[in-house]
Copies of this chain bind each other. A is one copy, B any other.
């Protein structure tokens, strides 16, 4: 797409904060509280820095070092000072920005590339172009705010000495950084594009939207992070290409929400600027409102704390309180005025200093918010939506949802974990069954400089670190990225129309060649159940014999189990690789036809009731072996181990059934409701399961494993009983 070059004279500011927005903000006699608080906090922050004076040092350091952190602070403060100038009309802010930009304009022409030369794309002011692009994204907004304040001559000076050559540097001179589908490029594109919009530089705008026109060069085809530049003969570059390839049609980001959160900033800021300055592009309508879908997809992938589900590489605790999500929510609200977003914004507790932040603060002051209802949703993966999916089942009130996060996605590029058909399970704010997340303390120097720890590869990425089947103690895809990268699991069915039994089923035949895996999850809601009950039917079949193990990551506090287990005498390591080298075997028990296992996590009671068989074992494992730097949490898991066989069927029912107060010391519903889990029938074609509770009735679950067609009739005869149903599944309350 190329824009007709109508270089009309636009009024500034017009990127994120607009002239019209400024007028709105100035029109009220009393600012709404949340906006006023944010304004006050930012005034204080900027005042402290202005007091210190301007420093634009010669670039020298890596991240964490003085020059790096100083330049980073510079663009953050300029960005904020720009908004303050517009809102308060105090020229001290404009002068501060002007003076700083002039220093950058003096410095820039003297710079070669950054002396560190440690990145695949070394920057100028920073050690990597990514940070230079960050600088550009924020500085462009500051520049926009003082554009009309500067003289024509000053603008020309800045444009020719600083901005245009800097933009050329991170694009033309760094195609490997700029011209691919990758979050680094998105930042580069946004930086170049925003500068183009401020300066009215159509060349830069076009470059941002459509990428560099370069010829195919083998050396650029793939970077170290897996971002490709060509799709067949089609170059994948520029903002439209990012939108085409980085997200699925449902707004799912293949690396997962932890990385999406970071990537959203350049997407949303550049989109918002385009919408303001080039409304004819209709950027928000692109790919059926993709960007707004992405904002919701991100928010849906959070637990009751607003923390992102830590699938793939992700540090736990990152949440929608993050500044990048504050921007995204503010901008999205400006577009759709969805009262549910106000609830998220209220939790975030701060807003942008622009018309969107103002609208949010006003909306909250007028009590317009509605509970943010996180719905059950299947988020398809892959640019075309045909590379697996993340299925989220939810039940319960907004803010207190029981959430099941079922991962049958693609690999998620270099940050992906080897855990097809795994799920994690939350009751509100509580992790009932965890995804371990990444083994990393981001930015904490003492832990390997804050980078990914070696245990991230040896433990966190391995299959046994998740809640899914491990075959022969080997990780999915043998734990090899090159095998896994173009594989994905296969959605089988997803149906959440009936709230009394929401269902999802998916398969994988690629995780282990020659082994078919299928997992079906059913979330049953019933007025007699304390909380919705999760039924988990997981089958494996193969022509050859395998050892199948299914772990459950309960983390802590075994409460009670009917398994007859014995403690190990001294602790031994469970294996040598694929993550087992990090596990101690604490105890071992022999199973019969059924077992249960209750645990208490963060004062919540959970119980698993499982189908089992004679000769099955239950292994009580504890993380922490071969951990020389004490990098791993000492979390607990149980592993349901089947003796070697061609096929295996695991049926588990998970209940979250009670809470305990340490102040009243009263446990509510400390006992589970489940009584029995029975296999009525199971083969490659059909699975029929019955579950019975003590006091809430019984259910039968029928699944057709080979046909997801809705109109096909199925019949299974078991003894004298005929089970008949139409479509891929039937869940029936039978008592």
Contact = CB atoms under 8 A, between A and B. Distances in A.
Nearest to A658: B444
B567 A318 contact: no
A205 to B, nearest CB: 32
A663 B317 contact: yes
B571 A319 contact: no
Contacts of A622: 624, 634
B670 A444 contact: yes
Interface string A529-572: 00000000000000000000000000011111000000100111
Nearest to A573: B570
Contact of A444 (B571, B620, B627, B667): B667
A663 B321 contact: yes
Given A624-B586, A633-B556, A318 B446 contact: no
Contacts of A670: 444-446
A443 B600 contact: no
Nearest to A666: B443
B630 A558 contact: yes
A318 B666 CA distance: 12
A319 to B, nearest CB: 6
Contacts of A316: 662
Nearest to A661: B317
B321 A660 contact: no
- Chain A interface, DSSP helix/strand/loop, else mixed: loop
A558 B444 CA distance: 13
Contacts of A634: 556, 622, 634, 636
Interface in A663-691: 663-667, 670-671
Contacts of A584: 571
A559 B665 contact: no
Nearest to A572: B570
Copies in the complex: 2
A478 interface: no
A53 interface: no
Contacts of A446: 559-560, 598, 670-671
Chain A interface residue bracket vs B: 35 or more
A663 B600 contact: no
Contacts of A560: 446-447
A573 to B, nearest CB: 7
Given A570-B572, A634-B622, A447 B662 contact: no
A235 to B, nearest CB: 33
A645 B557 CA distance: 40
Contacts of A442: 665
A567 B443 contact: no
Nearest to A443: B665
Given A556-B633, A570-B570, A663 B624 contact: no
Interface string A124-150: 000000000000000000000000000
Given A447-B559, A570-B572, A319 B663 contact: yes
A369 B540 CA distance: 64
Contacts of A663: 317-319, 321-322
Nearest to A566: B628
A444 B624 contact: no
Nearest to A635: B634
A626 interface: yes
A318 B321 CA distance: 30
B571 A667 contact: no
Nearest to A315: B662
A441 interface: yes
Contacts of A620: 630
Contacts of A603: 317
A570 B571 contact: yes
Nearest to A630: B558
A593 to B, nearest CB: 22
A173 B446 CA distance: 67
Interface in A285-341: 315-319, 321-323
B443 A667 contact: yes
Contacts of A315: 662, 665
A633 B633 CA distance: 12
A622 B447 CA distance: 21
Nearest to A321: B663
B662 A317 contact: yes
Interface in A599-644: 600, 603, 620, 622, 624, 626-630, 633-634, 636
A586 B573 CA distance: 13
B630 A557 contact: yes
A288 to B, nearest CB: 31
Given A445-B670, A567-B627, 15 more contacts: A317-B603, A317-B662, A322-B663, A323-B664, A446-B670, A447-B559, A556-B634, A558-B629, A567-B628, A570-B572, A586-B624, A622-B624, A622-B634, A634-B634, A634-B636
The 6 closest A-B pairs by CB, nearest first: A317-B662, A571-B571, A558-B630, A446-B560, A634-B634, A442-B665
Interface of A: 315-319, 321-323, 441-447, 556-560, 567, 570-573, 584, 586, 598, 600, 603, 620, 622, 624, 626-630, 633-634, 636, 660, 662-667, 670-671
21 contacts: A315-B662, A317-B662, A317-B663, A318-B662, A318-B663, A319-B662, A321-B663, A323-B664, A441-B600, A443-B666, A444-B559, A446-B560, A446-B598, A556-B633, A556-B634, A557-B630, A567-B628, A570-B571, A571-B571, A622-B624, A634-B634
